[in-house]
Structure 1
Amino acid sequence: MNTMQKAPAARFARHLIAAAALVGFAGLSVAGEVEVLHWWTAGGEAKAASALKATLQAKGHTWKDFAVAGGGGDSAMTVLKSRVVSGNAPAAAQIKGPSLQEWAAEGVLANIDDVAKAEKWDSLLPPVVANVMKYKGNYVAVPVNVHRVNWLWANPEAFKKAGAKVPATWDEFFAAAEKLKAAGIIPIAHGGQNWQDFTTFEAVALGVGGTEFYKKALVQLDQGTLKSPTMEKVLTTFKKVKDYTDKNAPGRDWNLATAMVIKGEAGMQIMGDWAKGEFIAAGKVPGKDFTCAAAPGTAKAFTFNVDSFAMFKVKGDDKVKAQKDLAAAIMSPDFQEVFNLNKGSIPVRLNMKMDKFDDCAKLSSNDFVATAKSGSLVPSIAHGMAVSSSAEGAIKDVVSQFWNSDKMSAADAMNKIAAAAKMK
């Protein structure tokens, strides 16, 4: 689901050489092997992963690639479980959100507090992000990046043709949708897959209900909030969005929906910032050929999807040293810059210079810092950051059933979501 901003090969090579040189050759005396499980195997993702490899090799360590194809990581987790059970865990594995706590509870993750303290992670990360990386107060994982999920992507030409303005509220959204429809343009590009339905749903929940409602309903799974009049309004608004999608939406991949906006066939798409990679790859310029704006009603909030690496317990001083160097390298400013320039996401460090990033990334970074201070930085439930996988899956199923049903009322959906939320 996470697409990369594709940089030209020559520029990327220069980035890698610079990153490797800046990290330096410290630690050559205790060189070890570091095995890393990830599923960044395609295009810009593979290039971004190679930046990490170059960084570790610059420290004298041997990188052992444990790449498992498949964007969602399900197959990777199956392989990882069998490796851990057999006592042969990799040094690091791409795991995120509440799943980190589940692995840590099994007693298989390493405590990397010494690295975190030496590198001052507590002052470099928003507490809400740092807490995801900790188990019982100790760091067991390191964050790589931040994807903002609550984005609205728009085609300025389509809006100009329709005489509409990019919406900042849900009322403005429906007014713009009507004008786009009247101009013969599909108002909202959507892929009818349950995770895309859920991505739209959480944007509506945040925009209609606000941050505190979102936290209570979709992070704390508070039963009273899940059955409230506000939730009924969220569901009604969410279902109304469907009226402005096209009949070919069911089953469509997210990037094909993005392509509709790029071509001007559709006016808008609600999708995380990996969509930006599609615009960039098509040669489009932010602010000129496409508009990035917070989803309606969410300008002062930020739903985050953070990729991270869990650090597993390994044996041998050389492997432990390599693992700790890996953790430090991931959070280094040089790696954060080169990786995120290629991934299309933004650095997770709060004090990063954003000179080399595009306008959408700069807006995202400014809002990330501001919402970290205001308390409006919230985890994305649609992207595995907020609740257990069982609760997430159960709620996601209800949301898609409601989206696709002509018979289920908002009140029915509300009660079903509340029941699904008990699947902890």
Structure 2
Amino acid sequence: MTVALAAKAGEVEVLHWWTSGGEAKAAAELKKMMQSKGHTWKDFAVAGGGGDNAMTVLKSRVVSGNPPAAAQIKGPAIQEWGDEGVLANLDDVAQAERWDQVLPKVVADVMKYKGHYVAAPVNVHRVNWLWANPEVFKKAGAKIPTTWKEFGESAEKLQKAGFIPLAHGGQAWQDATVFEAVALGVGGPEFYKKAFIQLDQGTIKSAKMEEALSTYKSLKKYTDKNAPGRDWNLATAMVIQGKAGMQIMGDWAKGEFLAAGKVPGKDFICTAAPGTSNAYTFNIDSFAMFKLTGDAAKAQKDLAATIMSPAFQEVFNLNKGSIPARLNMDMSKFDDCGKQSSKDFVATAKSNTLVPSWAHGMAMHSATQGAFQDTISQFWNTDSMTAKQAVEKLAAAAKVQ
């Protein structure tokens, strides 16, 4: 008998920001599973792709002593909440459900605070994907790029044929997502680790970083004038509708293609961003649990067990476009993009080229990340700013804690 079955019915209030097509479907599955166990689900959804709005709301709730049962929190932010002393200990659930055995260590470590489980992962997202519409490429006589040089060549052809080469949403986190992929492709995994995880000043100030920044800015001419402020899923829709050729975005974009009835390999292509096929930037969605008492605490433990159950990991990730965080999963129901992602996840974990996405809050403290994002967006939006000036700003940003 698992911990889950012993729980008494209670209410679980869950804070998340899954409000677009594929994401909303995925969240609905968790709600259904909890209701089938007799619990009351209280949805606390706050719109906004990167979850910034949600964090503001969460802070005010926790400060007033009224936290939700669970909130979508990830990466170093879990540690920051742990420092506040407000997170619940999930070790009993984790032991009963053998989390240490079914999670890769790099994932398990993110879910723990001072050696104790305080959060449950729902998935692994690969961030360094390039999404492409093969029909658009065919019409333009262009090939799907595997290097940044090829990206430029293909983009020119797409533009000449009347398409927007790169669908982009000009929001700070989307700018950072694209730059992160470019930096990984230009500099490689070791450069990436030194610059964005270790925040090594020499690497940040290197000629390689200037090259990464210049390559990144060269992509701007391939976006459209309506890009500023556009949400990511609207950029994905441009590729789906054949208005744009490509988008650089994490695999949550796949949920949008699938929700639109598109078939991977036929209606859309998923491939590693140029120059990054040997590396994997991950973004893991997880739910941190807050200290509660009584029936609510029991329902919360049930929620943690449900999130990590193979049944939920499968159905959730089939809807969301990501892959299960569990290692021992049968991937037969997943499409080609999911199978490829899983294969690369396992391979890069072995080759030590599995790296946390800094653009998605997996590598840096939030203040440092914010300073990096501001610099990248400022560089993208300021024609007169040079790569060298951007490098100096990044070097200063790396010192922000």
Judging changes above 3 Å, is the alpha-carbon distance between structure 1 residues 370 and 45 closer, same or farther for their aligned structure 2 residues?
A: same
Residue in structure 2 matched with residue 102 of structure 1 by the alignment: 80
Moved more, 175-184 or 215-224: 175-184
Give the match for residue 13 of structure 1: none
Q: Is residue 84 of structure 1 aligned with residue 44 of structure 2?
A: no
The aligned counterpart of 2:386 is 409
- Residues 68, 269 of structure 1: CA spacing in aligned structure 2 closer, same or farther, 3 A cutoff? closer
| Of 274, 280, 292, the match for 1:314 | 292
Gaps of 5+ in 2: none
Q: CA deviation at 1:358?
A: 1.6
Q: Is structure 2 residue 108 aligned with structure 1 residue 130? A: yes
Partner of 2:168: 190
TM-score by length of 2: 0.93
Supply the distance in 2 between the matched residues of 1:57 and 1:124 (Cα, whole angstroms). Answer: 26
Q: CA deviation at 1:242?
A: 1.6
TM (norm. structure 1) is 0.88
Query: How many residues in Structure 1 have an aligned counterpart in Structure 2?
Result: 401
How big is each residue's C-alpha offset from its partner over 1:49-86, in whole Å with a ceiling of 9 and x where there is no partner?
A: 23223323333444343344444434433333233233
- Is the 8 Å Cα contact of residues 24 and 59 (structure 1) preserved in structure 2? no
| AA matched with 2:198 | Q
Tell me the distance in 1 between the aligned counterparts of 2:265 and 2:152.
22
Deviation at 1:206, TM superposition (A): 0.7
Residue number in structure 2 paired with 1:154:
132
What is the CA distance between 1:417 and its match in structure 2?
0.8
Rounded to whole Å, the distance in 1 between the matches of 2:24 and 2:238 is 26
Structure 1, residues 195-228: CA drift from partner, whole Å, max 9, x if none? 2211110000111111111111112211111111
- Hey, what's the Cα distance between the residues in 1 that align with 2:46 and 2:167? 30
1:396 lines up with 2:373 in the alignment: yes
Aligned match for 2:5, one of 9, 13, 27? 27
Secondary structure of 2:218's counterpart equals helix
Contact 1:28 1:60 in 2 (8 A): no
Q: Is 1:347 equivalent to 2:324 in the alignment?
A: yes
Maintained 8 Å contact 2:3/2:96? no
For residues 409 and 349 of structure 1, do their structure 2 counterparts lie closer, same or farther at Cα, with a shift above 3 Å needed?
same
Other-structure match for 1:14? none
Question: What is the aligned-residue RMSD (CA, Å)?
Answer: 2.2
Identity of paired residues, percent? 75
The match for 1:50 is 28
| 3-state SS, counterpart of residue 182 of structure 2 | helix
Partners of 2:95 and 2:186 in 1: how far apart?
40
Aligned mates of 1:47, 1:102 — CA distance in 2: 30
TM alignment of 1:5-20, pairs within 5 A: none
Identify unmatched segments of 5+ residues in structure 1. Answer: 1-22
Q: Which residue number in structure 2 is paired with residue 20 of structure 1?
A: none
Partner residue, 1:361: 338
Partner of 1:262: 240
Tell me, yes or no, if the aligned pair for 1:68 and 1:76 is still in contact at 8 Å: yes
Q: Which residue identity lines up with residue 347 of structure 1 in the other structure?
A: P
Contact 2:131–2:269 under 8 Å retained in 1: yes
C-alpha change, 1:154 and 1:147, in structure 2 (3 Å) is same
Distance 1:45 1:185, change over 3 A: closer
